[in-house]
Amino acid sequence: MSYPKQLHMGEHIDDLEELYMKLPADIKDRELDIICKSARKLIEQSERHYINRDEELAYIGYMRLMNLVQVIRKNKDYGRKKETVTKLLGTQSDFNRIFDKLKKLKTSLEMRYQERARLKGLKTFAKDVDLERESKNGPSGGTDGGTIMPATIQKQTVTAMELHGMINDCRISMLIMDCRPVKDFEASHLRYSYLVNVPEHLLVAGMTAGKINHALPPESRTLWSNRMVKDQVVLMDWNTAGVPVKDTPIYILNYILCHYDQDIEDTKIIRLDGGYESFVLHYPASCLNPSYRPPMVVDGLGDNIDDIEYPNISDIPMKEESFSKPGFKPTIDRNSKVAAVSLYEARKKPLEDILVEHEQILDKSKQNALEIINTETELQNLEKQQPLEPGADETQESLLFEVMQLKDRQRDYEAEKARILEEEEKYKEMEKEQQERGEQISTEQAEQLEREAYERRLRDKEREQRELEEKCQRLAREREEKLALARELKRHLKENVPETVKRAYPEEDPGPNAYGVGNAARLPLFDRSAKPLADHNQNLRMRDLDVVQRDFAPVYGSVGRGLTGLKNLGNTCYMNSILQCLSNTYFLNEFFHDPSFKMHLNRNNKTQGKIGEEVAAVIKALWTGQYKCIASKNLRYVVGQYERQFGGIEQQDSHEFLTILMDWLHSDLQTKQMQISTSLDQMPPSEKAWIEHFKGKGSYISELFYGQIKSTVKCTRCHKESATYESFSNLSLELPQDSNICYLENCLDMYFNGEEVRGWHCPKCKSNQDAIKKLDISRLPSILVVHFKRFYADPDTMATVYRKKQTLVKFPLSELNMTRYLARTEVNRNKRLTTFRYHLYGVSNHYGSMESGHYTAFCLNNIHQKWFKFDDYNVSSIDASDVQASAAYILFYSCLPDRPQSDVR
């Protein structure tokens, strides 16, 4: 048996850090293939040193390899060349063996360094620390045997004195994680080599260790990776003492390391009691800039009013004010002469921009009208074919859907044109007012003539546009007449079809529960009368849903990852639209790609984890990049087993499907016991309601998608407040009744502003009183889903007729700030999200009307960083400016720090 080679690189293991932390300065600028070859060579050298028992060189080589791997993963070509990287460097199992070797080498080297120090007659720092502590605390300084007691599994906290001793003890292998804000950490922090800042803005529900690694700056990632080889990790914030409060950054960081970091299963996780403030108070010399103190945050919340949402009833904005505000547009103050002049001077250039925008809208509208005419003509030619060629039915349906989308887009152009004309009129009116007051307009005559020429060109384009619109309207009337005849024929055929053929499940009696009416106790209630009805079913036939094995029926073809379409299995465009939006939910995608997600499946609920398994299988298939399109047969079959209307061939509502699917997914993954530090009676009402809603068990779905609404009712007589709490997975917002265009901010105001309640029984007055009811957000979700209520009963008709609101809602693609809708008494709980802004990544669109409609999805692909349109099996790129449309039905926003999916397996 060969013995390890003599130690020759340092006196203790920390001396090796300087050797393996050094990488060439230009390493990040080199080609990925060259870096991989260097890493391959480093693996071979380290293996030779390991075989030759040169433990120091082997340890340095392997640790340098870990640093090099971080550089490789950050390289821009890594996602595209991941297979090449795997061939050169090995699989995850190969790296697991390297991690095992690193642990063995570290343990052996630490023991050998200590033994060599003992033989040389040197004393370790432990004795000096004991003497220091004994001089301060007496002989019984709190340690056993006169040595510093490292954190153990039973010991969850350390004091500032104990941490100071651990920092100065070379035998202790430790990484400190500081979860204070970046600006506080940079201003003042511990003087310690193995210290990494994990900023509090990253510590939100849904984060994992891998995603934190992506979000950290490059210089912090190497330190973060040291948690895999350290014996213990110490967590620290500003001043938390004892058990951390739920949802605080240090609580979430501890939760992530314990539940979502498989690389540190044997690592001890402990916290610094009293946080950084305690340490800097005891050992200012061991801190950088010990005089620094964070700015005081004034919440305006005293202990005596924590349960009072609105001290003054006049502070509550009312719903009727919601659409009186102009949304994101600034108001123009014409009452002030000075303001008018300065505004004009500041906006001469925007006026020219508006004219340019007007011309661009006219050009787009003209091009869109030409596309409508061409598509309608193509449809007419197709209908004249006798007999129809194979596949003509599908082509005809596809063209009908295209006409729907083009008409919706044309309607949006008209709304935009009306808005631009209104802005032009405002500026011209302001200019006229200035001229009447005798104010001089600082514009040259040439500019005036140029503007007049511009306006003449716009008038010519508008005339051409009107001519095209008249032709489109004529073709549309002809199309509607033919569709009306087709619907009447279809209705007549349905009435004469035998009952056994009409049923989606011939072996069962449909009865009153055929469409889920009897499931009200277990599923959300929906007004299905105000949802889209069935559309083009005449060309579709029943599918055999009795499948045994998972069959995606793929159409092979090399496409970008995440750019695979979904086949329409018979009016399943509503399902396809939602699945594509969920597939592009970065954190959910990552979760389902991790094989360990099956460990969280709940087999004891009604769906037995089947929904979660099938959704995961579909999402993984969509991201292989090997298929042009796939069919979600198994998912549709399983979904139809638990909610029958989703298993048939009738068109359904994407919002209803999404809401029920979220409940199913949560139930399928509801295996995490919520940490309850005190009894329910002693908890804040919102926290108690949250735990009771989920029956004490959470899931990854509840961490990502679920939020909480606080409903406050305030008596107008005695001002007594009463509050209740309700969880939600999406917000359903009203749209204005008689407006072609509005802003998301208006819709949110309408939802959260107050409304009068008549006959509310006030518990203080002991009688029925008038009151005001106001909604606020008590818990912000990481993924915010917003639904627009587009379908309504027309009040002007004798019979119940449902219409669709074609309102164009202007919603931001980024920087959506939801903090203004937070409940006043819940600001502290949501403090971790107040620095965040939500960004849009998915839209479920509905085109057409109640009787005849079609669903698509717009999604932001994290790899390509581009928007794509998912129209069943067709996937195409779109411009970000086309995402805002009157077809928008459901919006998907995220406040999480998404990164390109470079490591999705």
Tokens of 283: 């050992």
Between the alpha carbon of residue 90 and those of residues 68, 86, 87, 262, 597, the distances in Å are 14, 5, 6, 20, 24
SS3 category, 336: coil
Which of 443-447, 534-538, 570-574, 729-733: highest mean pLDDT? 729-733
- Tell me the C-alpha distance between 515 and 537, whole Å: 18
Percent of the chain topping pLDDT 90 = 30
Count other C-beta atoms under 10 Å from residue 260's C-beta. Answer: 18
Q: What is the arithmetic mean of pLDDT over 521-548?
A: 48
- For residue 351, what pLDDT is reported? 64
Q: What is the arithmetic mean of pLDDT over 444-455?
A: 56
- Tell me the C-alpha distance between 403 and 408, whole Å: 9
Let me know: does 890 contact 581? Beta carbons within 8 Å: yes
Count other C-beta atoms under 10 Å from residue 218's C-beta. Answer: 10
- Tell me the C-alpha distance between 180 and 164, whole Å: 19
Residues 45-103 pLDDT 10s: 888 888 888 888 998 998 888 888 888 888 888 877 887 888 788 887 788 788 888 88
Residue ranges, CATH 1.20.58.80, the chain? 13-123
Name the β-bridge partners of 566: 630
SS (H, E, C) 656-699: HHHHHHHHHHHHHCCCEECCCCCCHHHCCHHHHHHHHHCCCEEC
- For residue 453, what pLDDT is reported? 59
Residues 834-845 pLDDT 10s: 555 899 999 999
- For residue 480, what pLDDT is reported? 67
Q: What is the arithmetic mean of pLDDT over 487-492?
A: 62
Q: What is the arithmetic mean of pLDDT over 350-355?
A: 67
Specify the higher pLDDT residue, 276 or 417: 276
Specify the higher pLDDT residue, 202 or 631: 631
Residue ranges, CATH 3.40.250.10, the chain? 157-286
- For residue 438, what pLDDT is reported? 59
- For residue 663, what pLDDT is reported? 95
pLDDT at 405 over 90: no
| CA atoms lying within 13 Å on the CB side of residue 111 | 8
Q: What is the arithmetic mean of pLDDT over 777-794?
A: 91
Q: What is the arithmetic mean of pLDDT over 642-661?
A: 90
Q: What is the arithmetic mean of pLDDT over 116-139?
A: 54
Q: What is the arithmetic mean of pLDDT over 734-748?
A: 89
Rounded to 5 degrees, what angle do the CA atoms 89, 90, 94 make? Answer: 125
- For residue 30, what pLDDT is reported? 84
Specify the higher pLDDT residue, 473 or 255: 255
> Hey, what CATH topology would domain 13-123 get?
Methane Monooxygenase Hydroxylase; Chain G, domain 1 (1.20.58)
- Tell me the C-alpha distance between 118 and 130, whole Å: 18
* DSSP states along 395-448: HHHHHHHHHHHHHHHHHHHHHHHHHHHHHHHHHHHHHHHHHHTTPPP---HHHH
Q: What is the arithmetic mean of pLDDT over 719-747?
A: 91
SS3 category, 730: coil
Q: What is the sign, positive or negative, of the torsion defined by CA atoms of 293, 297, 298, 302?
A: negative
pLDDT at 542 over 90: no
- Tell me the C-alpha distance between 390 and 368, whole Å: 29
For the chain, state the CA radius of gyration. 33
Count other C-beta atoms under 10 Å from residue 736's C-beta. Answer: 16
CA end-to-end span of the chain, whole Å? 42
Which of 191-195, 201-205, 816-820: highest mean pLDDT? 191-195
Q: What is the arithmetic mean of pLDDT over 849-866?
A: 89
Let me know: does 305 contact 269? Beta carbons within 8 Å: no
Residue where the block lists tokens 């006409």: 403
Residue where the block lists tokens 């979660």: 612
pLDDT at 736 over 50: yes
Tokens of 709: 């609404």
Using a 10 angstrom Cβ sphere, with 0-12 exposed, 13-18 middle and 19 or more buried, the burial of residue 888 is: buried
- For residue 354, what pLDDT is reported? 73
Q: What is the arithmetic mean of pLDDT over 685-710?
A: 92
Using a 10 angstrom Cβ sphere, with 0-12 exposed, 13-18 middle and 19 or more buried, the burial of residue 889 is: buried
Let me know: does 890 contact 730? Beta carbons within 8 Å: yes
- For residue 337, what pLDDT is reported? 38
What element of type H or E holds 492?
A: helix 445-495
pLDDT at 148 over 50: no
Residues 235-254 pLDDT 10s: 999 988 888 877 788 988 98
Residues 876-889 pLDDT 10s: 999 998 999 999 99
* DSSP states along 77-133: TTTTTHHHHHHHH--HHHHHHHHHHHHHHHHHHHHHHHHHHHHTTPPPHHHHHHHHH
Give the relative orientation of helices 32-51 and 82-89 as an angle to the nearest 10 degrees. 20
Q: What is the sign, positive or negative, of the torsion defined by CA atoms of 269, 273, 274, 276?
A: negative
Count other C-beta atoms under 10 Å from residue 523's C-beta. Answer: 15
Confidence category of residue 541, pLDDT binned at 50, 70, 90: very low
* Beta carbons within 8 Å of 189's beta carbon, 6+ residues apart: 178, 195, 197, 276, 287, 288
- Tell me the C-alpha distance between 504 and 506, whole Å: 6
- Tell me the C-alpha distance between 588 and 592, whole Å: 6
- For residue 771, what pLDDT is reported? 93
* pTM (predicted TM-score): 0.64
- Tell me the C-alpha distance between 712 and 825, whole Å: 11
Torsion of CA 187, 188, 193, 198, to 10 degrees: -70
Closest C-alpha among 452, 528, 449, 534 to residue 490: 534
In this structure, of 123-127, 204-208, 227-231, 849-853, the range with the lowest mean pLDDT score is 123-127
Percent of the chain topping pLDDT 70 = 75
547-570: b (≥16 Cβ within 10 Å) or e: eeeeebebeeeebbbbbbbbbbbb
pLDDT at 904 over 90: no
Let me know: does 297 contact 200? Beta carbons within 8 Å: no
Q: In what order do the strands lie in the sheet with 888-894?
A: 731-733, 783-788, 888-894, 839-848, 853-861, 866-871, 874-878
* Beta carbons within 8 Å of 133's beta carbon, 6+ residues apart: 141, 142, 143, 148, 161, 165
For the domain with range 157-286, which CATH number is right: 3.40.250.10, 3.40.50.12160, 3.40.50.720, 3.90.180.10? 3.40.250.10
Closest C-alpha among 502, 536, 534 to residue 394: 536
Let me know: does 73 contact 61? Beta carbons within 8 Å: no
CATH, domain range 555-671: 3.90.70.10
* Mean pLDDT, the chain, whole residue set: 78
Confidence category of residue 519, pLDDT binned at 50, 70, 90: very low
Residues 285-332 pLDDT 10s: 899 998 887 765 444 333 333 456 776 777 788 887 777 654 444 333
Q: What is the arithmetic mean of pLDDT over 485-501?
A: 57
SS3 category, 768: strand
Confidence category of residue 410, pLDDT binned at 50, 70, 90: confident
Name the β-bridge partners of 555: 629
Rounded to 5 degrees, what angle do the CA atoms 57, 61, 67 make? Answer: 145
Let me know: does 112 contact 67? Beta carbons within 8 Å: no
- For residue 527, what pLDDT is reported? 62
Confidence category of residue 176, pLDDT binned at 50, 70, 90: very high
612-637: b (≥16 Cβ within 10 Å) or e: bbbbbbbbebbbeeebbbbbbbbbbb
Categorise residue 90: left if φ over 0, alpha if ψ from -120 to 50, beta otherwise: left
Between the alpha carbon of residue 206 and those of residues 263, 599, 731, 898, the distances in Å are 18, 17, 20, 11
